[in-house]
Amino acid sequence: MKALLRLFATGADQPQLTDTRRIDELFRRHRLRVMLAITLGYGLVYTCRLALSVAKKPLIDLGIFSPSELGLIGSALFYAYAVGKLVNGFLADHANMKVFFAFAVLMSALLNVGMGFSTILWVSVLLWGLNGWFQSFGAPAGVVAMANWFGNRERGRYYGIWSTAHSIGEGLTFVAVGGLVAAFGWRYGFWGPGLLCVLVAVGMYLLVQDRPRTLGLPTVADWRNDHWQTDEAHSRADVGVFRTQLSILKIPAVWVLALASASIYVSRYAINSWGVLYLQETHGFSLVEAGTFLMVNTFAGIAGCLAFGFISDKWFNARRPPANLIFALAEIAGLVLLFYGPHTTLSLMCAFILYGLGLNGLVTSLGGLFAVDIAPKRVAGAAMGLIGIFSYIGAALQENISGHLIERGMTVAADGLRTYDFGPATTFWLGSSVVSMVLAATLWRVRLRD
């Protein structure tokens, strides 16, 4: 067991290099590799998390699972992810990201392959829950890698780039994985992502690096001379990592941020989990057509992630609350247009563009960047973990509540034709976005930490 723990543990600090040119060369090389791995690689890993979303209608139509049973399976991932994100967030601050991340991706890939064979409820709940646990390694690993390799005043922009991974994964799921399901059946919606991510795990191991100090490099803040005013209680060398991790529990803004993030994750995963079914049943689209609309949301989401980082860094001097308000209004406007606007292709396109821009900007901020700003950087993983457990409890509750509301509004005719009333569910989704906006606005004057 000790040998296993050593395998995952971060390396010891090495004597610092003195050759400035060599230091610059290594930072440039590893920063590029880390960003490539945590952005493109994590985006591909997302397909192993969202595969169930595009398989829901065939699973319902074939009588394998009901909407409430699918809600139970989906919530198993989110509950495990919530707890795992907190636990693994704390562990990530002590871990070697090269091994930590690659191992989790490999396990998630194998569990997806297993899901493609399961038609038994308790087996699917178990497999999908375990998948949620290993998926929970990803965000803390990405945030810790970013906090280690990118400075304070550039982190918003790079965090925005990294956050496009969510949209990349969603787009691949709704179009590529959706295409596999439409062509070959629901099982391939799990087998395809699983086999792909076995290869991704290898790439993660080759590209991701441990902390700069383990390579004989200075910290990125020293390298870029990029320090904010540091809280003395967290800058003293004799304060241990675990003690500093616990200190984030005393920051009121972190708790408010956690609740705001939980609320926006209700809306986020409502559309991710049930959006395809909503478009199929409310508007009569095919699986591929519904996936295409969500692909528009994906492209808008990529723009939203990048725009949030740039706007908050450049327009508001790395202050997130003003940008939060702008993006929240866009996200809410998109949902209102989607649920209550004209049922035309143009209207739906505009709705998903607004929603994708606003939502992904908010996920970038409330789901991690803002937490990294207001917590000590050495414990970025713990801050991400605390926000994460609230976020994914919100997502899990959404899955259970939405499944119940959708099934309650479902009627089955004598010929087996199903019709749905999504009204209660959409009211729940929209209301959660409004709550998130109000909570985030209360953090207008919160200060940043080094």
Rounded distance, CA 74 to CA 413, Å? 27
Give this prediction's pTM: 0.70
Rounded distance, CA 14 to CA 217, Å? 8
pLDDT digits (tens, 9 = 90+) for 31-61: 889 888 888 888 899 899 888 888 888 898 8
Helices and strands (H and E) in the chain: how many = 20, 2
Rounded distance, CA 316 to CA 308, Å? 11
Q: Classify each residue of 433-448 as buried b or exposed e, where b means 16 or more C-beta atoms within 10 Å of its C-beta.
A: bebbbebbeebeebeb
Of 37, 8, 4, which is closest to residue 95 (Cα–Cα)? 8
pLDDT digits (tens, 9 = 90+) for 275-325: 888 888 888 888 778 888 888 888 888 888 888 877 877 787 767 888 889
**Average of pLDDT values for 330-354?**
92
Query: CB-based contacts of 314: which residues, under 8 Å, 6+ apart?
Result: none
Compute the residue count for the chain: 450
Amino acid identity, position 333: A
Burial class (CB in 10 A: 0-12, 13-18, 19+), 204: buried
pLDDT digits (tens, 9 = 90+) for 359-380: 988 988 887 777 777 766 566 6
| Greater pLDDT, 332 or 421 | 332
Q: Is 108 helix (H, G, I), strand (E, B) or coil?
A: helix
pLDDT at 335: 95
334 within 8 A of 358, measured Cβ to Cβ:
yes
**Average of pLDDT values for 241-262?**
77
Rounded distance, CA 334 to CA 331, Å? 5
Q: Which domains does the chain have, with CATH numbers?
A: 19-221+243-441 (1.20.1250.20)
Q: Which contiguous run of DSSP H or E holds residue 440? A: helix 423-441
pLDDT at 238: 41
pLDDT digits (tens, 9 = 90+) for 398-448: 888 988 888 886 776 666 677 778 888 999 999 999 999 999 888 887 765
DSSP symbol at 314: I
What is the chain's mean pLDDT, rounded? 83
Q: Is 69 helix (H, G, I), strand (E, B) or coil?
A: helix
